[in-house]
Structure formats: structure tokens, C-alpha cells
Amino acid sequence: MKLFTAESARGRGESAGKPSWSQTLIELTRRGPVHVLLIFLAIVWLTPSLGILTTSFRAPADIATSGWWTVFDELGRLSLTNYEDVIADSESAPPGIAQNFLNTIIITVPSTFLPIFLAALAAYGFAWMQFPFRNTLYLLIIGLLIIPLQTTWVPVLRIYNIFDLAGTWPGIWLAHTAYGSSFAVFLLYNFFADLPGEVFDSARVDGASELVIFFRIVLPLSKPALASLAIFQFVWVWNDLLNALIFLQDSNMMPLSAGIRELLGQYGSQWNLLAAGAFISMIVPLTIFFSLQRYFVRGVTAGAVKG
Amino acid sequence: MVGKHSKWLPLLFVGPVLCILVIFLVYPTIHTVLLSFTKGTMLNPGREFVGLANFERLLTADKTFLRLNRWPPSGVLPTTALWVLVFPSLTVGIGMLIAILSDRVRYEATIKSIIFLPMVISSTAASVIFVFVYSPDLTKGVLNAAMTSVFPQSEPITWLGRKELANVAIILAATWTSAGLPTVVLSAAYKGLPREILEAARVDGGNAWQVFWRVSLPMLLRPLTFVTIMLTINALKMVDLILVMTEGGPRGATRVIGFTVWLEIFGNNRVGYGSAVAVILFILVLPAIIYQIRQIRQDLR
């Protein structure tokens, strides 16, 4: 992302093309309020994150005595010490941020691929196969898209206690698979339904089975949709707090989101550790966002615009 | 054309997802409805059948859930109503503003990224960020620091500690995390509008304002409805921001219905009572579920 102030200055200069000064002036006064409003909103939206990011590099003594917006007076004292401290500290909020980070990866990777694989199978079935109650079943899945998970907690926990799934990794993987798959079916169905059916037909003439068509034709053709979905589901699971608290229960298995909450509860005032911890929990989603932004946004808009 | 295949093959494709959805969503929802007529704890749910007693108590006797005999009404339901009225309209309003105003500036992609950014971080991180923003300590909270520098007489405000301000404070944090959704959805829809129609309206002498209200807005109705519904449901289901920022306080002021289910089941270990709250939440979401199914059924035809 480029600095918006620099770009906006360029934008204003060029928006009038090469015409005379007076025209430039008229254009500026007419569009001026639009730029002011947009830049104001951009500053408002950036300030909260900027505060925590700046604080994560400041010395605890500076944090205690002055606001993060005075950081320019102390540039020489900024350091990564807070990050070292919060990573080394596994006493205050067990099991520590490093273990939380590892747990988050253990939770997130299977919880991303499992629902997408199962949903892709189902979406192909709904889009290209003929069977009784096909539309009814698909509409049932659509209905489950926005069901509040609150209505499922107690009965699912009962099942988990019976089968000893509470506090296990497969338990959290299954929960995320279930909660993520209806959206995945919906998104992939829309994409699969638009694939060229003639390609499947000629493959069938050549003797390909439905499974071969699915693995060799549908999945490779759907890489953009699968990528959008994978990124969306990955970030969703990475950021999850509630399912981890409900189904993992054991503090040694907790992900970053729960670890940060623990830090906030114990150290409501130790902002050096809190800021560094919060930023550590954001690094992976932010990296994904900046490198794969187009896919991510597509995942969000796909359902809505097409829907 | 649809291929010829064995009668049982489709089951291999759609079976796994249907199974897992029935086990994790369909059956539990039915079970929760049954639990709402009972009294029990997490270790012993459904211990005693009490009929409609939970609902009766929630709607008539529980002052923390609904208190109508004093103005303004207070409790979980009025707080939820405040959220449902303010949060979606504010968030959609900002999203619409940015989608349309940024359409013709050079830094469009940049400003949309900035608004979208908070959507990718966790609610926990967002909560930490806003606890910091709202801090009454003038060396921490940027909001109070800015206010006291503009109005030197004013005292710093404990935004999250005052009953009448805490909801507004959390709603603003929720707006910060969510405005990316309406921004990208409405922006994509706006760019999809037929340019000729907008041009024609302008040529016919409509000013920007008239063209927006009479021409653009009616054509954006469907994506607008979609994001409004999604954000309304998010307000109803809200747990994590509230759990991390205030745990429902001060004095129960920020208990929205979705959070209350959490509180009753896991905080107070009242599983039957919490299930009754969950059923009320489900009933509130039901119209949206029906609307969604109808829309998609139309598209299938």
C-alpha cells in the first residue's frame, strides 16, 4: 500500500489534465470537499492501528509518561524489546505467545483445507449431478449460512463430551469445518455452475468418471475461487476466539486471540506487552491481506454481488 | 447436460457436507429449542421440564433482559435494538460514502484498502486497539487526548466505563472493523451499473445529488439490502468484541442478545435459560434466513 497523502497530491494535480490554471482551480474547489472527507476518513481509520503499532516499539518508560503521538521525539529509543519480552514471557499468560502462535497454526491449517475440500465435492454434486431433493437440500445449506452459532453450542458440546472430542485438535477442526462449509458450498456452487458444461461432456464421452472430472477438470479450473475461499477461511479461523474457548478449553491449546485476551485481562495496563502481543497476532492476516488482497476482497464480494 | 452416473454417486459428493451440517447445525438447533423448555446445568442439561417458564421470566420478570416500566427501557432487548438501529446504518452509510466518493479519485484503491484493513484482524486485536483508543489516561487514549487538547476545560471520559457511553463506544469499534464489507460490496455493485443510464440522467440536467438518489440508489437496492441484513445479523450475534472489551458491563449495559447467550450458558451455567435466549435470537434471525432462501430459490429457477 502506498502512502495515501502522496498519492492524493498527485491525484489533485493530474485530475484536471493539462488545462489552464483557472480550470484547475475550479476543479479543485468543486472536488475539494470530497478529498477532504475521504482523507479525513482515511486518517480516522488508520489512527487506532497506528497507535498500537507505534506503542509496540516504544520503551515502557516512554509509554508511561507520554502519548504515542509524540513518538517523533524519541525515535532513537524505539526497539523490538517489547516483542522479545512478550515472546519470552510464558509465566504471566500461560502457555505464552510463542505457544499460542504454534497452536493457531495447528488449528488453522486443517480447518482451512478440510471444509473447502468437502464443500467443493458438495458444490460439484449440487451444480452438475441429478438426484432427488437436490434444490431443497441446497436451499437448506443456504438457510444454514446465517444461523446463529449460539443455538448449537450446548448440544455440540454434549456430543463432544460423549465422543471425547472436547479439548482435542480434531474437535476444533471438525467444528470449523462444519461452521465454514455452508458458505464454502454457496461460493463454490456459484463458480462451478458457470463452468463450461461441454468440457465435462466431452470428458465423459472419453470415458472419464465423475470423480476424474472433479479432480482433473473442475478443481484445476476453479483455482481462483478456491484461492479466494482458502484465504477467507484461513483468516476467519486464524482470528477465531469463541470456538477455541468453547471446544478447546485447555489453556495450553489456546490460539493467539485467546492469549491476547488473557494478556489484556492480566495486564490491563502493561501496554508495552499488550501492543506487541496484539501486533504479533495480526502479522499473518496482515501479510496475507497485503500480498493477496485481490483474492481476499473477491471472497467477500462474490456472495453478495452475484448472490 | 448432466452426466449419467450411478444412483448412489451423488451421495458420495454431497453426503459428507450434509452429514456434518446435520450433526453440527440442524440437530443442535432442534435440541436447543427443546432445552429452552427445561432447567439445567452444563453437566446436567435438561434436568427438569419447566414448560414456557424460561420465556415468561425473560420477557416479564428478568429486569436485566427487558425493563419497560422506566423510560428509556433498559435491558438486553432494548440494548440489542439500539445496536440493530445504529450499527448497520452507520456502517452501510460510511461504506456507501466511500464506495461512491472514491470511485473517481486517483487513490481509490488505497483508501479502500485502508477501510478494509481492520476486517482482517481478530476481534480480540481490535478490542485491544480500542481499549487503548478509549483509555481515560491522557498518555494512552488518543481520543481523550485529542478532546482535551481541543477543549482544555474538559475532563477525560471513561468511554467504556459509563453506562450511557459504553454501547456507542463499542458500536464505533464494530463499525471500524466492519465498514470494509459494505465498502467493497457497494463499490463493486456501483461499478457494475450501466454508465449510459447515469450519463443520460446527468445530461438531462440532474445534479450529482439527484442522480444518486433517483437513479443510482434504486439500482443498488439489492446489494444494499444484502449488506444491511448481514450487518444486522452480526449485531444480533455479537459476542467477541463485547466479551473482550467490557464483558457486558458496566452494570450489564453492553449485553447484546448474542453475548447474553454466552453469559447465561458459560458464565452463569444456566443452560436452559441460556437456550431460551438463544431461541429468541434464532427467532430474530429467522426472517433473514427466510429472505435469503427465497432470493436463492428465485435465482435457481
Instruction: Check whether residue A74 and residue A101 sit in a common domain.
Output: no
Kindly report, residue by residue over A213-251, the tens digit of the pLDDT.
999 999 999 998 999 899 989 999 999 999 999 999 999
Instruction: Check whether residue A227 and residue A272 sit in a common domain.
Output: yes
Domain count, chain A: 2
pLDDT band at B72 (very low <50, low <70, confident <90, very high): confident
Q: How far is A109 from chain B (nearest CA, A)?
A: 17
Distance CA B100, CA B104 (A): 8
Q: Do B111 and A4 touch (CB under 8 A)?
A: yes
Length of chain A: 307
Last residue of a domain, one of A79, A110, A127: A79
Which CATH number is B44-300's, of 3.40.50.300, 1.10.3720.10, 1.10.540.10, 2.40.30.10?
A: 1.10.3720.10
Name the nearest CA neighbour of A256 among A264, A291, A179.
A264
Q: Write down the pLDDT at residue B143.
A: 93
Distance CA B12, CA B229 (A): 34
Kindly report, residue by residue over B124-144, the tens digit of the pLDDT.
999 999 999 999 988 889 999
Q: Write down the pLDDT at residue B104.
A: 81
For chain A, the distance separating the N- and C-terminal CA atoms, rounded to the nearest angstrom, is: 30
Q: Which of A67-81, B37-51, B78-92 has the lowest mean pLDDT?
A: A67-81
Kindly report, residue by residue over B11-28, the tens digit of the pLDDT.
999 999 999 999 999 999
Instruction: Check whether residue A72 and residue A191 sit in a common domain.
Output: no
Instruction: Check whether residue A233 and residue A154 sit in a common domain.
Output: yes
Q: Do A156 and B122 touch (CB under 8 A)?
A: no
Q: How far are the Cα atoms of A295, B1, B10, B129, B252 from residue B244, in angstroms, in the given order?
A: 30, 52, 44, 11, 14
Instruction: Check whether residue A75 and residue A100 sit in a common domain.
Output: no
Instruction: Check whether residue A178 and residue A286 sit in a common domain.
Output: yes
Q: How far is A2 from chain B (nearest CA, A)?
A: 7
The residues, ordered by sequence, that sit 6+ positions from A107 with a Cβ below 8 Å of its Cβ are A169, A172, A173, A176, A237, A240, A244, A248, A255
Distance CA B278, CA A247 (A): 18
Q: Write down the pLDDT at residue A8.
A: 37
Give the residue from chain B lying closest to A71, CA to CA: B139
Q: What is the DSSP string of B61-78?
A: I-TTT-B-SSSSPBSHHH
A299: which chain B residues are within 8 Å (Cβ-Cβ)?
A: none
Instruction: Check whether residue A284 and residue A221 sit in a common domain.
Output: yes
Of B32, B122, B128, the CB nearest to A52: B128
Instruction: Check whether residue A170 and residue A275 sit in a common domain.
Output: yes
On the 0-12 / 13-18 / 19+ scale of CB atoms within 10 A, A220 is exposed
Q: Do B110 and A178 touch (CB under 8 A)?
A: no
Q: Do A154 and B29 touch (CB under 8 A)?
A: no
Is A53's Cβ below 8 Å from some Cβ in B? Answer: no
Kindly report, residue by residue over B196-221, the tens digit of the pLDDT.
888 888 788 778 788 888 888 888 99
Q: Do A7 and B258 touch (CB under 8 A)?
A: no
Instruction: Check whether residue A182 and residue A104 sit in a common domain.
Output: yes
Of A210, A235, A261, the CB nearest to B120: A235
- Give residue for cell 434436568: B47
**A-B Cβ pairs (cutoff 8 Å, strict):** 339
Instruction: Check whether residue A52 and residue A166 sit in a common domain.
Output: no
Side-chain half-sphere exposure of A201, counting CA atoms within 13 A: 6
A238: which chain B residues are within 8 Å (Cβ-Cβ)?
A: 122
Last residue of a domain, one of A26, A46, A79: A79
For chain B, the distance separating the N- and C-terminal CA atoms, rounded to the nearest angstrom, is: 16
Kindly report, residue by residue over B227-236, the tens digit of the pLDDT.
999 999 999 9
> Does residue A105 register a pLDDT over 70?
yes
Of B1, B26, B292, the CB nearest to A145: B292
Q: What percent of chain B has pLDDT over 70?
A: 98
B124: which chain A residues are within 8 Å (Cβ-Cβ)?
A: 239, 241, 256-258, 260-261, 264, 278, 281
CATH number where A137 lies: 1.10.3720.10
Last residue of a domain, one of A54, A79, A104: A79
Instruction: Check whether residue A38 and residue A178 sit in a common domain.
Output: no
B102: which chain A residues are within 8 Å (Cβ-Cβ)?
A: 38
Instruction: Check whether residue A56 and residue A104 sit in a common domain.
Output: no
Q: Do A48 and B133 touch (CB under 8 A)?
A: yes
Is B244's Cβ below 8 Å from some Cβ in A? Answer: yes
Name the nearest CA neighbour of A39 among A4, A1, A12, A6.
A4
Please report the ipTM that was assigned to this predicted complex: 0.90
Domain span including residue A37: 4-79
- Give residue for cell 476545560: B153
Kindly report, residue by residue over B264-281, the tens digit of the pLDDT.
999 999 999 999 999 999
Give the residue from chain A lying closest to B14, CA to CA: A122
Query: What does the longest C-alpha to C-alpha distance in chain B come to?
Result: 80
The residues, ordered by sequence, that sit 6+ positions from A148 with a Cβ below 8 Å of its Cβ are B233, B236, B237, B258, B278, B281, B282, B285
Kindly report, residue by residue over B139-152, the tens digit of the pLDDT.
889 999 999 989 98
